[in-house]
Amino acid sequence: MIASSHVARGTIFEMRRYNPSEIEPRWEAIWEQEEAFRAVEEEDGRRRFYKLHMFPYPSGDLHMGHAEAFAISDIIARYRWMQGHNVLHPIGWDGFGLPAENAAIKRGIHPKEWTYRNIEDQGRTFRSYGMSFDWTRTFATCDPEYYRWTQWVFLKLYEKGLAFRKLAPANWCPKDQTVLANEQVIQGRCERCGTPVVRKDLTQWFFKITDYADRLLDDMELLEWSDRVLTLQRNWIGRSYGAEVTFEIAETGEKIPVFTTRPDTLWGVTFFAFAPEHPMLGRLAEAGGTSAAVKELQDRLQRIGAAERDEALSREGLALGVHAVNPVNGEKVACFVAPYVLMEYGTGAIMGVPGHDQRDFEFAREHGLEIRVVIQPPGQDVAPDQLAEAWPHEGVMVNSGPFDGTPSPESIDAVTRWLEKEGKGRAATSYRLRDWLISRQRYWGAPIPIIYCPSCGEVAVPEQDLPVLLPDDVDFSPHGESPLAKHEGFVQVACPRCGEAAKRETDTMDTFVDSSWYFLRYTSPHDDQEAWSRESVDRWLPVDTYSGGIEHAILHLLYSRFVIKVLYDLGYLGFVEPFTTLVNQGMVLYGGEAMSKTRGNLIELGPTIQKWGADTIRLTVMFASPVQDDVDWATVSVSGVHKWLGRVWRAVFAAAEAGSGSRGGFGTAGDGDAAAPAGDELRRLAHRTVKAVTADYERIGFNVAISKMMSLTNELQRALDGGVRGEAAREAAEKLVLLLAPMAPHIAEELWHEALGHTDLVSKAPWPTWDEGLAKVQEVVMVVQVDGRVRDRINVAADATEEECRGLALASQRIKKFLGGREPIQVIVRAPKLVNLVTLAD
RNA sequence: GCGGGCGUGGUGGAAUGGUAGACACGCUGGCCUUAGGAGCCAGUGGGCGAGAGCCCGUGCGCGUUCGAAUCGCGCCGCCCGCACCA
């Protein structure tokens, strides 16, 4: 018994105005009191449904972007409750991260205080938005009770050899004396001070995600995600098939492999090039007598950023004075150092084929190197000096010794097999994906649980010593190394193995590590014995529907998939993909631009709810466009939706009153027979609407679902005005309220109790059903076409046969007029909707 | 350059290969009201017509089909991602 003051049927109805500011807080309090949306851990025969939305970053309060995203999540969760599922719909916060630190530096308050204050604000706004979260399971990733287990996950990867340190170039701002994440480098400059960023080599921690490249690609077939996101991930991993071919340096005898996707162009190699960071370069330059010039080039590159390097150096290069021997024909070609060769991809060295690669072509032109045609476009005979650009496409091999005449694409396999047989190379696969750099020289993150001992070396913090607590009293302004490095109490530690004085790792983890496993923790959020209970995780996971912004299409989703696969391999989980279905919502724009604080066009959610009510906002963002499309808040009509809710309010109260008097049954009119057919029609419409709207909920077509509910509202009111009374009116009103409940839960509860007199929560009420017979249309408008043009419309019974339709169409006076005596040469009948009379021969 | 997506009224958007523009916003006219960010009614793709109605119309072109916004091919334009990835 929840309703405090529901009005019994048959009493005098008091027609109140729709007043969301009075209704909404009341129902929010009731849901919370009743723990209406608490996921049930025990087995109770219901299907479990895990609805997750990407947890928010606690910077400031919620804005309209959150309004759109979380409305989708909440509607799905509430719909599943009404479908009789046991729903897990949790919320937490991605608490660590740079913005907290920067905001804190700017405002002079501690990141912790700033973060937890924002979490509190956001939580309050979520409640006033009517979110059906299970509030008993909430946490933030910056809680020590949480990051303890993030550190534990790190240790599991470390034990498996998947977390390791290596020297790697980082983005370094010389002014701020700090390492920057890629996202903080805007066009080669520091996002904060505008100083050009330089490369600096630092020893940093990585996760070996590259080991999982194939599985991350191949398991995509298990996912119901949009092609868009899957393609983004596929491109990001960037798997290429080809061959590794070993060249030999003529002067030193050193062997150096290169990766190529086009082994069929091997006879077109006219030069060889190394990346400027290639480790062999020093020795080769020495052998070639070019050490000074090479050193000068390397130093210059070191000083400038990656972006500038791309533009300024384009096809620059320097001959090393040594030669590489092409294994297929024994030719010696000149070796270069060239900045367009990347150390990070393949082997850091390339074979140069100017005839068939545009970059090699431009390089050859620049340096006066030979251009050779070894793949002839089909049916053509192109001489090298006729080439205006490289020919990277398919063709027939020429000037290629034993392979002359071999057509691509078979030529690639043929040459690869030959290389393997001759011991000159082998089939190989290369990836664009790099290992995941997780070190951050920052304060506000989870400390990496590693200790460096002078005797024992790198030692993992024992599990029972977790968490490695982040100290509060730290000077977190940037100084070029982690702020933790200056905190003696943190750094100094006894070696867990030998007890000697040792030092802690002072870098913290990338926040993407925190968010790569948080969805597991919701299943047992307060467990202080283990990160998650295997039993509980197996019950709830994988997530049934995961929703969130497209901006996380690559990093967060890829990292989570990777971590889950590792944990599966280690036996901690029983599934390989965390998120079965993914829904990406569009952005909320303002005047065609993304909302942002700096632009000053950020519409906050809290005040907007104050003004219109949560239900109106939820419906407005859902009605404005399909969920995956953007919404421009500058052009939406909040008042249109608000007015509709007013009509729903009045119609449902009126219907309840009209339905309370006579209980005579469906279609019975209170005042006269005239309304009986209208009541019958209303009833059919109600059933038809339930069927259609249910399908819309299933496919997440919320904008269309709303339009159908609007139509039902309009017809209900019209029917009431036309004198419809009794069950027909009441049933239509009930079904409307039930259909509306996931989207506008507050007004739905109020009407369910106050107008319709129920005592249970509509939020947990069974989803409305429909009668197929009633939902079926009785009479339809049949379109009669002559030669594909609509010439008449005839009302026919929905079950009219093909023969009946044909007869009606041919009997039509209008159609006779259009036929003008001609006999149709063909009659297409699609009973009962369409007849097409064809008179034209083609 | 490569990959993906998208082009429908003044606007947001509907439309299992079968009535294009549902449902709204906006606008126009009218009614009601002391008043209203209220309510109600009618109209609203373009052209022609007094009207019944006719013609045109989903970026452009070609095609498949009795029939195309929808399927295929070729353009044009816009958006997003990656970008010297060998």
Please compute the mean of the pLDDT values over residues A297-310 and round it to a whole number. 72
pLDDT tens, position by position, A565-606: 999 999 999 999 999 999 999 988 887 778 877 777 888 999
What percentage of chain A carries pLDDT values higher than 90? Answer: 59
Cα A419 from Cα A421, distance rounded (Å): 5
Nucleotides of B under 7 A from a protein CB: 3-5, 11-15, 18-20, 22-26, 37-41, 54-56, 66-68, 80-82, 84-86
pLDDT of residue A669: 42
CB A93 within 8 A of CB A122: yes
CB A542 within 8 A of CB A575: yes
**Which residues, 6+ apart, have CB-to-CB distance to A139 below 8 Å?**
A92, A93, A145, A146, A521, A525
Q: Which residue has the higher pLDDT, A315 or A249?
A: A249
Q: Among A439-443, A507-511, A674-678, where is mean pLDDT lowest?
A: A674-678
pLDDT of residue A487: 92
Q: Is the peptide bond before A467 cis (omega within 30 degrees of 0)?
A: yes
CA of A432 to C1' of B81 (A): 15
Q: Which residues pair with A158 in a beta bridge?
A: none
Q: Among A168-172, A266-270, A485-489, where is mean pLDDT lowest?
A: A168-172
pLDDT of residue A187: 59
CB A100 within 8 A of CB A59: yes
pLDDT of residue A309: 65
CA of A468 to C1' of B85 (A): 39
Cα A636 from Cα A639, distance rounded (Å): 9
Angle, helix A111-128 to helix A98-107, in steps of 10 degrees: 110
pLDDT of residue A424: 92
Nucleotide nearest to A182 (CA to C1'): B82
How long, in residues, is chain A?
842
Nucleotide nearest to A707 (CA to C1'): B23
User: Residue A311 pLDDT > 50, yes or no?
Assistant: yes
The CB density around residue A221, as the number of other CB atoms within 10 Å, is: 8
Pair of tokens at residue A434: 């790099």
pLDDT of residue A824: 81
Please compute the mean of the pLDDT values over residues A439-444 and round it to a whole number. 88
ipTM of the complex: 0.93
Pairing of strands A271-274, A332-337: parallel
**Which residues, 6+ apart, have CB-to-CB distance to A153 below 8 Å?**
A513, A516, A517, A531, A563, A567
Nearest one of A142, A80, A232, A227 to A514, comparing CA atoms: A142
What's the distance, CA A574 to chain centroid? Answer: 23
Per-residue H/E/C for A660-724: HCCCCCCCCCCCCHHHHHHHHHHHHHHHHHHHHHHHHHHCCCHHHHHHHHHHHHHHHHHHHHCCC
pLDDT of residue A542: 95
Nucleotide nearest to A835 (CA to C1'): B18
pLDDT tens, position by position, A346-358: 999 999 999 999 8
CA of A835 to C1' of B70 (A): 20
Nearest residue: Cα versus C1' of B18: A834
Please compute the mean of the pLDDT values over residues A223-233 and round it to a whole number. 88
Helix (H/G/I), strand (E/B), else coil: A549: strand
Angle (CA) A422 A427 A433, round 5°: 150
pLDDT of residue A313: 64
Nucleotide nearest to A840 (CA to C1'): B66
pLDDT tens, position by position, A498-518: 999 999 999 999 999 999 999
The CB density around residue A41, as the number of other CB atoms within 10 Å, is: 16
Cα A3 from Cα A758, distance rounded (Å): 8
Band (pLDDT 50/70/90 cuts) for residue A191 is low
Nucleotide nearest to A833 (CA to C1'): B18
Q: Which residue has the higher pLDDT, A170 or A210?
A: A210
Q: Which residue has the higher pLDDT, A408 or A322?
A: A322
User: Residue A3 pLDDT > 50, yes or no?
Assistant: no
pLDDT of residue A832: 82
Nearest residue: Cα versus C1' of B5: A228
Please compute the mean of the pLDDT values over residues A817-838 and round it to a whole number. 82
Band (pLDDT 50/70/90 cuts) for residue A494 is very high
CB A179 within 8 A of CB A188: no
Band (pLDDT 50/70/90 cuts) for residue A7 is very low
**Which residues, 6+ apart, have CB-to-CB distance to A529 below 8 Å?**
none
Q: Is the dihedral of CA A40, A42, A46, A52 positive or negative?
A: positive
User: Residue A455 pLDDT > 80, yes or no?
Assistant: yes
Pairing of strands A508-509, A185-186: unpaired
CA of A818 to C1' of B51 (A): 20
CA of A643 to C1' of B35 (A): 19
Scan for tokens 């009770």, then name that residue: A145
Pair of tokens at residue A691: 């069927």
Mean pLDDT of chain A: 88
State phi, psi for A191 to the nearest 5 degrees.
Answer: -65, -25
CA of A623 to C1' of B17 (A): 28
Pair of tokens at residue A511: 């926040």
Nucleotide nearest to A611 (CA to C1'): B37
What percentage of chain A carries pLDDT values higher than 70? Answer: 92
Q: Among A307-311, A739-743, A828-832, where is mean pLDDT lowest?
A: A307-311
Nearest residue: Cα versus C1' of B19: A783
User: Residue A408 pLDDT > 90, yes or no?
Assistant: no
Q: Is the peptide bond before A542 cis (omega within 30 degrees of 0)?
A: yes
Instruction: Give the CB-side neighbour count of residue A783, counting CA atoms within 13 A.
Output: 11
Task: Give pTM, 2 decimals.
Answer: 0.91
User: Residue A188 pLDDT > 70, yes or no?
Assistant: no
Please compute the mean of the pLDDT values over residues A252-264 and round it to a whole number. 93
A426: left (phi over 0), alpha (psi -120 to 50) or beta: beta
Q: Which residues pair with A794 in a beta bridge?
A: A782
Nucleotide nearest to A433 (CA to C1'): B85
CA of A789 to C1' of B65 (A): 15
Band (pLDDT 50/70/90 cuts) for residue A12 is very low
What's the distance, CA A369 to chain centroid? Answer: 47
Cα A565 from Cα A567, distance rounded (Å): 5
CA of A757 to C1' of B7 (A): 50
pLDDT of residue A676: 63
Query: Tell me, what amino acid is at A368?
Result: G
CB A586 within 8 A of CB A633: no
User: Residue A4 pLDDT > 50, yes or no?
Assistant: no
pLDDT of residue A562: 95
